[in-house]
């Protein structure tokens, strides 16, 4: 026997106390079949969350000046493309799916982690260098999953508690998690298929508590060597996890729907019903919260157009220009969205007024809000040129309320909510850098 084997054997016989002891984990429900059921759900769900999430990053048009705060993203942005303005509802759907599915699968993720928890305490931690590499990759997988779900959930609850900026961190985390996920799936897929075939799902759904038996012992040690008496059937556990998932889905999906179903979005901070008035829809950040001063939005307010022909316009002058009305959604990165009827001046008309041909002009939008990261955004040439892109002055037939961006705000079809800048002070038209 080599020294390494000696050491390994000695270590195995002398585990530290507590969770490292084989007899510590006793749930008779743990086993490869159960883990594989949760794994199968995540195998289909995670790629959808991942793709819609990466799409969301593309929708930020990070190649435009100032939109992106991700330093050194380098080749992580290899897939980026010019985000279109058609169809207007696309980002509403992709981001709604990203957030709502992420919430709904949180309970499945937790159940999956619970089902493999004994493996976290395998002793000795690694028996060979290859095993050490495998376990390190699991650390990235579990750490990445927990990080992505936790930062996502905290962000949509508006708990900005992390000491870093959300979306670069969520993006880096996503790539680390996805790399580990792909490796994990590649290694575990055959085992998952075998485990799923080892029991009949339908029979499991018919098996009551008193007939619940542990799965046969498995080489990975998921099945406890000394199982306790079951206190819950496997179908009970599946119903519990599936039920939690469906309840989360049911209580959050409403945030993406207009109409009475919005009231079902009890889990969404912006999901609640705001009342029947024309300005009674979600407010992401109120004027008070953003330190918008009433004096800045009063009669002295002027819109500054910067470009070859700088212009200053009062609100009355803007209202005297050709006005256009479109039903367009606001779709927030937090997953909520709502369609409203906006009236305002075309960005294309404002570009012309400032001396630039739409189709050649990008615009930097600056709010009169004094602090905070959402006070500026860049819009692409395609966004400026789209006839439905507005500097909105009115909503649903009445003036914008202060919280919705009075005196004027941006509304661009299919743009993430955060690019629909409120309380606009200046539009700087400039030629596209491309």
CA 3 → CA 6, 13, 124, 131, 412, distances in Å? 5, 15, 15, 17, 68
Q: How far is the CB of 336 from Mo ion (least distance, A)?
A: 8
92 binds ligand MTE (CB under 6 A): no
> What is the rounded CA–CA span in Å between residue 328 and residue 363?
20
> What is the rounded CA–CA span in Å between residue 268 and residue 281?
14
Q: Which SS3 state, helix, strand or coil, does residue 341 take? A: strand
Closest residue to Mo ion in the complex (CB): 332
Question: Which residues ranging from 353 to 392 are in contact with ligand MTE (CB under 6 A)?
Answer: 367, 369, 372, 374-375
Question: Which residues ranging from 290 to 319 are in contact with ligand MTE (CB under 6 A)?
Answer: 290
Q: How far is the CB of 337 from ligand MTE (least distance, A)?
A: 9
98 binds ligand MTE (CB under 6 A): no
Report what 282 binds from Mo ion, ligand MTE, none; CB cut-off 5-8 Å by kind: ligand MTE
Q: At 178, list the tokens.
A: 């996805």
How many of the other CB atoms lie within 10 Å of CB of 110?
15
345 within 8 A of 31, measured Cβ to Cβ: no
Binding mask 268-287 for Mo ion (x = CB under 5 A): ----------------x---
- Choose which of 252, 392, 417, 424 interacts with Mo ion (CB under 5 A): 417
Q: How far is the CB of 161 from Mo ion (least distance, A)?
A: 18
Report what 348 binds from ligand MTE, Mo ion, none; CB cut-off 5-8 Å by kind: none
- The distance of Cα 333 from the centroid of its chain, to the nearest Å, equals 7
What secondary structure does DSSP assign to 50-99, as a single string?
HHHHHHHHHHT-TTSTTT---TT-GGGGTT--PPP--STTHHHHHHHHHH
Closest residue to ligand MTE in the complex (CB): 417
By beta-carbon proximity to ligand MTE, the closer residue of 282 and 381 is 282
Binding mask 324-363 for Mo ion (x = CB under 5 A): --------x-------------------------------
Q: Which sign does the torsion angle of CA 89, 92, 96, 99 carry?
A: positive
351 within 8 A of 401, measured Cβ to Cβ: no
173 binds Mo ion (CB under 5 A): no
- Name the residues that contact ligand MTE, by CB under 6 A: 282-285, 290, 330, 332, 367, 369, 372, 374-375, 404-405, 417-418, 420-423
């Amino acid at each position: 026997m080599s020294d390494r084997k000696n050491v390994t054997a000695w270590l195995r016989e002398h585990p530290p106390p507590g969770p490292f002891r084989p007899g510590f984990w006793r749930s008779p429900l743990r086993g490869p079949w159960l883990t594989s059921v949760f794994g199968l759900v995540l195998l289909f769900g995670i790629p959808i969350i991942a793709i819609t999430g990466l799409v969301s990053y593309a929708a930020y048009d990070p190649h435009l000046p100032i939109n992106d705060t991700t330093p050194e993203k380098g080749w992580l942005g290899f897939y980026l493309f010019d985000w279109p303005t058609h169809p207007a509802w696309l980002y509403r759907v992709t981001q709604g799916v990203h957030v709502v599915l992420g919430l709904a699968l949180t309970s499945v993720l937790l159940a999956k982690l619970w089902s493999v928890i004994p493996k976290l305490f395998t002793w000795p931690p690694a028996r060979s260098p290859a095993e050490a590499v495998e376990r390190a990759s699991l650390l990235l997988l579990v750490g990445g999953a927990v990080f992505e779900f936790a930062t996502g959930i905290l962000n949509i609850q508006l708990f900005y508690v992390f000491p870093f900026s959300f979306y670069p961190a969520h993006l880096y985390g996503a790539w680390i998690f996805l790399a580990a996920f792909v490796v994990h799936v590649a290694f575990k897929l055959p085992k998952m298929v075998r485990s799923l075939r080892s029991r009949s799902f339908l029979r499991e759904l018919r098996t009551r508590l008193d007939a619940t038996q542990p799965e046969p012992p498995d080489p990975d040690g998921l099945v406890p060597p000394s199982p306790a008496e079951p206190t819950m059937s496997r179908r009970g556990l599946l119903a519990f996890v599936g039920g939690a998932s469906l309840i989360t889905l049911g209580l959050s999906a409403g945030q993406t729907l207009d109409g009475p179903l919005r009231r079902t979005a009890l889990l969404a901070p912006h999901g609640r019903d705001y009342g029947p008035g024309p300005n009674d829809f979600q407010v992401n950040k109120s004027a008070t919260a953003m330190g918008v001063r009433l004096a800045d939005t009063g009669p002295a307010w002027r819109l500054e157009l910067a470009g070859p022909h700088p212009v200053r316009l009062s609100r009355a002058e803007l209202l005297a220009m050709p006005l256009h009305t479109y039903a367009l959604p606001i779709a927030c990165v937090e997953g909520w969205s709502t369609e409203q009827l906006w009236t305002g001046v075309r960005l294309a008309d404002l570009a012309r007024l400032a001396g630039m041909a739409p189709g050649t002009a990008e615009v930097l939008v600056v709010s009169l809000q004094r602090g905070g990261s959402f006070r500026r955004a860049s819009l692409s040439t395609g966004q400026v040129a789209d006839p439905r892109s507005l500097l909105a002055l009115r909503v649903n037939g009445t003036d914008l309320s202060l919280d919705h961006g009075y005196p004027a705000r941006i509304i661009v079809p299919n743009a993430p909510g955060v690019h629909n800048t409120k309380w606009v002070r200046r539009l700087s038209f400039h030629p596209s850098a491309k």
